[in-house]
Amino acid sequence: MAISPTVPHQISRKKMAAIPIKDQQRREDGTKLKIIIVGAGLGGIGAAISLLLAGHDVQIFEAANEIGEVGAGIQVLPNSSRVLQSWGMKEALDKYSTKPSRVNMLHWKGGVISHMDFATSAAQYPGTFYWDFHRANLHRCLLDRAAELGANIRTKARVSNVEPSSEGDFATLTLENGEQHVVDLVIGADGINSNLREIMLGREDPPILTGDLAYRLLLSTKEMLKDPELASFVTDPQVNYWLGPDAHAVNYVLRGGELFNMVLLVPDDMPAGANTLAGDVEEMRALYKDWDHRIPKLLALCESVYKWRLCIRSGMDSWSHPSGAFTLLGDAVHATLPYLASGAGMALEDAAVLGEIFGRSANPRDPAEKRRLLTIYEQCRKPRTEMVVERGNRQQWLYHLHDGPEQEERDRAMQAKEEGEALAWRDSGLSPQLLGYKVEEDVDRFWHWGGSEINEVKVDSPARVQGKS
């Protein structure tokens, strides 16, 4: 049975919203799941919000000493904007957003290949938007919403084992300090270097190298505004992509013009075993010295930089343990290259689907029903996320072509046309599927599926699997 939203003024917002805002359900104790989510990134906090709205009890365990989100800018596309708004977050997010007018696809020397107007694109998906955020602000808004709904968040909680019961009615989660917690469902949302994935599989399973790394930097716009060639980047917010041989660059404004986010994607030269390292600013500048002269100007304003190895995750036969008491979401199962700006969006969608299915069920504590629900979750999510990972890999190739016949064909393919376009967000074969996604409609497609067993995940020891020490 639904109750009034946690925040009273949300009622009036709901009446006006183009995208309905979910009420928080009230459940009897016998139909309320006790859930632990492992990982307090965007996907984990999103799952907490979604499952709290569905009326369940949620704890979040984070291994780090404090809650925080690393990184810089993040683009929110129409599909993930729909999810965030359904959680009642538009008002909180608005004050941190930058609203770019268009995306420009540029040749590495500066010539315009193509562009797309964001308002025109978003109008095809009513109520949605293309907004840009500092990742920390988006994360903080999600944390605030989760806390408002009743989430219990705990830090310094590193998981060493998850042991589902043989019947699937519960799972026992063990922390490194020996402390144990018995819950109905464990959700691993601990990112690309997921410990929970390896616990489920019972073996090591490192991410797959892509051959690329990212320099990520944030510039103060104060100095940019003094240069007429750079000032327009700040005063007229747009998203810009420069495409070049074996590399590309992306930039856009954050925090209403206070900061300028820039990401440089280049071949990976990091040593084995490293994920993040301090970068050499002069080395970075040298890589882009012959590009559009505005890029060296921007890089001259950079004093320090980090570089991040870019990896992806291969698919799993199933994201869920055969018991139905343990599943995964987000980068733990489908980390993708950031070249569609869709990695975080996929994790938020995963979270929304979990909330939708566990909100609809009248008896989600029944082990057979849990298995059915997790089967629906995977039927909704696996094909879609696999498509995004594959398209991200294709974008890597498209963005990094050397000048020549293939590059010229790509540039022609990026012009607006009815089908087959290389500008992914306007590709009629991709964009409605990517940007027009609706959680409820996807769940509807599988809701009356009659099975009760999920595809068996390949584990070395299904009854008990240990994590990394």
Reported as a single tens digit per residue, the pLDDT across 347-404 is: 999 999 999 999 999 999 999 999 999 999 999 999 999 999 999 999 999 999 999 9
Sheet holding 152-154, edge to edge: 152-154, 57-61, 34-38, 185-188, 326-328
* pLDDT of residue 461 exceeding 60: no
* pLDDT of residue 5 exceeding 60: no
> Confidence band (pLDDT; 50, 70, 90) for 453?
very low
Tell me: the pLDDT tens digits for 297-340? 999 999 999 999 999 998 899 999 999 999 999 999 999 999 99
Tell me: the pLDDT tens digits for 9-40? 333 334 445 899 999 999 999 999 999 999 99
Contact 326, 186 (CB under 8 A): yes
What pTM was computed for the model? 0.91
439 three-state secondary structure: helix
Of the listed ranges 15-24, 115-124, 265-274, 424-433, the least confidently predicted one is 15-24
* pLDDT of residue 419 exceeding 80: no
Residue 363 located in a structural domain: yes
Residue 250 located in a structural domain: no
Q: Which residue in this structure is represented by tokens 């399973």?
A: 205
- Closest by CA to 173, choosing from 316, 27, 330, 63, is 63
Overall average pLDDT of the 50-75 stretch? 92
**Percentage of residues of the chain with pLDDT beyond 70:** 91
Q: What is the DSSP letter of 160?
A: E
Longest dimension (CA), the chain: 67
**H/E element, 120:** helix 118-122
> Confidence band (pLDDT; 50, 70, 90) for 455?
very low
Q: pLDDT value at position 69?
A: 67
Contact 385, 337 (CB under 8 A): no
Residue 218 located in a structural domain: no
Distance CA 233, CA 183 (A): 50
Residue 281 located in a structural domain: no
Residue 200 located in a structural domain: yes
Residue 444 located in a structural domain: yes
* pLDDT of residue 165 exceeding 70: yes
- Closest by CA to 379, choosing from 299, 442, 307, is 442
For residue 122, the enclosing domain spans 10-207+314-454
Q: Which two tokens stand for residue 34?
A: 């006790």
> Confidence band (pLDDT; 50, 70, 90) for 459?
very low
Phi, psi of 418 (to 5 degrees): -70, -30
Tell me: the pLDDT tens digits for 189-238? 999 999 999 999 999 999 999 999 999 999 999 999 999 999 999 999 99
* pLDDT of residue 290 exceeding 50: yes
**H/E element, 210:** strand 208-220
Task: Please spell the DSSP secondary structure of 249-315, one letter per residue.
Answer: EEEEEEGGGTEEEEEEEEE--PPTT-SEEEE-HHHHHHHTTTS-THHHHHHTT---EEEEEEEE---
Q: pLDDT value at position 18?
A: 81
Q: pLDDT value at position 25?
A: 96
Contact 219, 231 (CB under 8 A): no
Of the listed ranges 220-229, 241-250, 413-422, the least confidently predicted one is 413-422
- Closest by CA to 351, choosing from 145, 21, 52, is 52
As for how many domains the chain has, the answer is 1
What pairing do the DSSP bridges indicate for beta strands 276-279 and 305-312? antiparallel
Q: pLDDT value at position 421?
A: 74
State the distance between the two ends of the chain, measured CA to CA, in whole angstroms. 43
Tell me: the pLDDT tens digits for 96-137? 999 999 999 999 999 999 999 999 999 999 999 999 999 999
Q: pLDDT value at position 44?
A: 98
* pLDDT of residue 463 exceeding 70: no
* pLDDT of residue 346 exceeding 70: yes
Residue 168's region, left for phi above 0, alpha for psi from -120 to 50, else beta, is left
CA distances from 228 to 29, 232, 244, 250, 432 (A): 63, 7, 25, 20, 38
Tell me the one-letter amino acid at 303.
E
Q: What is the CATH number of the domain that holds 196?
A: 3.50.50.60
Residue 201 located in a structural domain: yes
Query: For 123-167, where are the alpha helices, taking DSSP H only?
Result: 135-149
Tell me: the pLDDT tens digits for 230-243? 999 999 999 999 99
Residue 303 located in a structural domain: no
Contact 392, 380 (CB under 8 A): no
CA 269 to centroid of chain Cα atoms: 25
* Dihedral angle, C-alpha 280, 286, 292, 298, nearest 10 °: 30
Of the listed ranges 10-14, 162-166, 289-293, the least confidently predicted one is 10-14
Q: Which residue in this structure is represented by tokens 């100007």?
A: 297
214 three-state secondary structure: strand
Overall average pLDDT of the 141-161 stretch? 97
Q: pLDDT value at position 428?
A: 87
Dihedral sign, Cα of residue 458, residue 463, residue 467, residue 469: negative
Q: pLDDT value at position 466?
A: 36
